[in-house]
Amino acid sequence: MRHKGGASETDGRGFSRHDLGNGFSTGFGMIDFLAQDATALAGMVAKGDVTPNELLEAALAKVAAVNPALNAVVLMQEDTARRSIAQGLPRGPFRGLPFLLKDLGCEAVDFPSHNGSRLFANTKYKRNSAIFERIRATGVVTFGRTTSPESGIGAATESAVYGAPTRNPWNLDHTSGGSSGGAGSVVAAGIVPFAHGSDGGGSVRIPASSCGLFGFKSTRARLPDGPYAGEGWAGMSIDGFLTRSVRDTATMLDACAGPDLGAPYVAPPLHKSHADAISRPPRRLRVGMCDTNFTGGAIHPEVAQAVRDAGHLLESLGHHVTPALPKADVPMMMRAWTDIVAVGTALSVRSGLNGRAMTADLVEGVSRGATVLAETFSPLRYLEAVGEIHAFGRQMAAAFSDFDILLSATLSEPPAKVGRFSHDTEDYLGYRIGPDGIFAYSPFCAIFNASGQPAASVPLAMSKDGLPIGIHLAAPYGNDEELIALCAELEAAQPWAARRPLVLA
């Protein structure tokens, strides 16, 4: 959206406008967060070309303009954001940029949360989480939260606490993914340049694939969990970010990486940093390409072709690409993941109920089903499932002896229609591992939550219907820097930044 007036014009509210090129103008409601990534915007703030207040005004105007269609921004704290600017922002790498937190985890005193659930609506916190403190230190201006499904266990974001589904900016009939579906939606729509998310079974990478964004899941324990959680889902869950560029993710990861006080375990140390890694191409790599799911089953033909196209692109860059199918017990892993998450859901639900009945007005169907299932387990089942997850991680580590990178799709098909993964059903097992369930739709992502390996979704393709198709890349445990360097190389070879979702028309 280019302002048509002169370079020194004001809008009557005291906001100066300066033409910054590339279709980007400052002023109330005039800033286009799709014209530049967060790194470029931060540079403009540092040079004085735009102010934090102007960026906040633009984000608030964009919320008013497009959020009614998307239903992605919730629990706005405008006064808190203005106060943080007035008091002086930390001089971090993203000073002055508007930012949103996922409405699940990332606990913060100034940002109450529903946690995606009517059961936990308007929860307030007495102290900040470690991940929030590190995000705040980057200098961002947080002004609210983004929608998430109840318990974070879905590949779509349609929680009852928000009154309506969250929709995909590329096509409002389709889901933006989950569980960081609100984050994916707001970044793709240009409400903010980047946003916080988290990933326990693909919850950053699924929205990234669905919304045409970059999503990176770090090696297990690369980012802090405390003090509100010792670990997420037996170590399978980790925070992350939805961004439009690889460099934005690299900088945020460098700012937030490292254990918090008392962390039960830590990730292998980085050689240098994510930002340093993307400053040069990686070595030429052995890439195993899988254009089916990991048990050899067929995926959507357009998605399979996108995987093969990505393989050809990697070959053109000098990497060695060969067909691959990792030898690992995927069905065992899927059931173990499902049972661990059921136990986690039951623990959360029972603590929230505090003795009340588990009724439909408080807890959604899938969470009720998960709770009931968990309470049928033997007391031994949880540790048995954790042991199965760890055994699977060893299987995947062995599989990577044949290649350096595993290439696949992120999802088995383009983004699903809204309502397909509604939480109304109480059949939790069917919802997760049934023939039409989440794992059939997303058979790749949770593999690497279980193994703890770093993995990323790169927005390299589009369907014939104009929906994003993510390409998934995974690396051995601890090899985050090599993986993100490869993602940056792909971004340079086949840029995606110019794409804009249809909702903006």
Active site positions, annotated = 102, 179, 203
For the four alpha carbons of 226, 243, 187 and 425, in that order, the dihedral sign comes to negative
Q: Please calculate the CA angle 423-180-472 and round it to the nearest 5 degrees.
A: 105
List b or e across 167-181, with b for residues whose CB sees 16 or more CB atoms inside 10 angstroms.
bbbbbbebbbbbbbb
CA distance 69 to 52: 26
Say if CB 404 and CB 289 are below 8 A apart: no
For tokens 């980047």, name the residue.
Answer: 194
Nearest to 160 by CA among 301, 367, 3, 316: 367
Greatest pairwise CA separation for the chain in angstroms: 71
Q: What is the 3-state secondary structure (H, E, C) of 302-324?
A: HHHHHHHHHHHHHHHCCCEEEEC
Give the residue carrying structure tokens 């406008």.
Answer: 17
Q: How many CB atoms lie within 10 A of CB 495?
A: 10
Residue 342 CB coordination number (10 Å): 28
Locate 90 and state its tokens.
């930390």
What 3-state class would DSSP assign to 108?
strand
C-alpha closest to that of 303 among 499, 488, 491, 464: 464
Helix, strand, or coil (residue 245): coil
Q: Counting every residue, how long is the chain?
A: 505
What distance in Å separates the CA atoms of residue 287 and residue 316, rounded to the nearest whole number?
13
Which secondary structure element, helix H or strand E, spans residue 366, and what is its range?
A: helix 365-374
Report which of 286, 218, 227 is spatially closest to residue 253, judged by C-alpha positions: 218
Taking CA atoms, 310 is separated from 16, 293, 303, 399, in Å, by 44, 16, 11, 21
- Taking a C-beta distance cutoff of 8 angstroms, is the pair 166, 182 a contact? yes
Q: Any residues with CB less than 8 A from the CB of 168 and at least 6 apart, and which?
A: 174, 175, 176, 177, 184, 185, 188, 210, 211, 415, 467, 501
Q: Is 184 helix (H, G, I), strand (E, B) or coil?
A: helix
In 3D space, the residue among 213, 140, 273 whose CA is nearest the CA of residue 415 turns out to be 213
